[in-house]
Amino acid sequence: MAKRTIMAAGNWKMNKTPSEAKAFVESLKGLVADAGSEVVVGVPSVCLPAVVEAAKGSNIKVAAQNVHWEASGAYTGEISCAMLKDLNVDYVIIGHSERREYFGETDEMINKKARAILDAGMLPIICCGESLTQREQGVTAEHVRYQIKVALLGLSAEEVSKLVIAYEPIWAIGTGKTATNEQAEEVCGIIRKLVAELYGDDVAEKTRILYGGSVKASNAAELFAMPNIDGGLVGGASLKLDEFEKIAKA
């Protein structure tokens, strides 16, 4: 069985100015230089040039928080994959529940974005997750399977083995509620099983699946130790140097 590298990915959301972001990454570099995990910071688009520059020569990878699927055109306010690639961005977070909820993003759009990101030579971090109502209705598995199945449409086995999937139960984002280790492991296992159905066991063993939703320094090690959880997509805690350092080393 291939050993998957644990990923500690921060999703800063709409926080930190470019100068604050630069200072944060300058400080973070030394703290995580010996981290065993792959460290990623997902920063606002205006912070990307400063953060890519600050992270140069370190083990920190940089992610954008969104992208448009078209190469160029009349899409005021949007950013293309070529623009991100030109900045040397490594990853792009797509399909976050906040994008789906506040900006009407659909599974089909997320699939188009995944295709464009891979074509540009970057890797997508594809988010999925259920609401509290959906969990109470007992449709978590069906809902998450549907989201991921559509997101991966048309992608090759090799592409899927390199990309990252992040399971984030919406009811655990920013609420302080965390899915239990068992709940998180169960859904990450369901996702891995789906990847195996679609692409075979070999690809499923290579694909990294993260858990997100109130991941903190205090619970990261236990979560990351679960067989199907390959790290975390971390919100609030990724904005604090000491917290994120501990998570990266968990």
Catalytic, 158? Answer no
Q: Which residues of 98-116 are buried (b: 16+ CB within 10 A; e: fewer)?
A: bbbeeeebebebbbbbbbb
User: How far from 91 is each of 38, 78, 165, CA to CA, in Å?
Assistant: 12, 17, 12
Radius of gyration of the chain (CA): 17
Contact predicate 90/64, CB 8 Å? no
Catalytic, 96? Answer yes
Q: Following CA atoms 109, 207, 159, 236 in sequence, which dihedral angle do they give, to the nearest 10 degrees?
A: 40
Q: Which of 96, 98, 105, 245 is catalytic?
A: 96
Amino acid occupying residue 198: L
Q: Following CA atoms 26, 32, 38, 43 in sequence, which dihedral angle do they give, to the nearest 10 degrees?
A: -30
Q: Which of 168, 185, 243, 245 is catalytic?
A: 168
The helices-and-strands tally (H runs, E runs) of the chain is 12, 8
Q: Which residues of 188-202 are buried (b: 16+ CB within 10 A; e: fewer)?
A: bbbbbebbeebbeee
Q: Which residues contact 160 (CB under 8 A, 6 or more apart)?
A: 152, 195, 198, 199, 203, 207
Q: Tell me the catalytic residues.
A: 96, 168
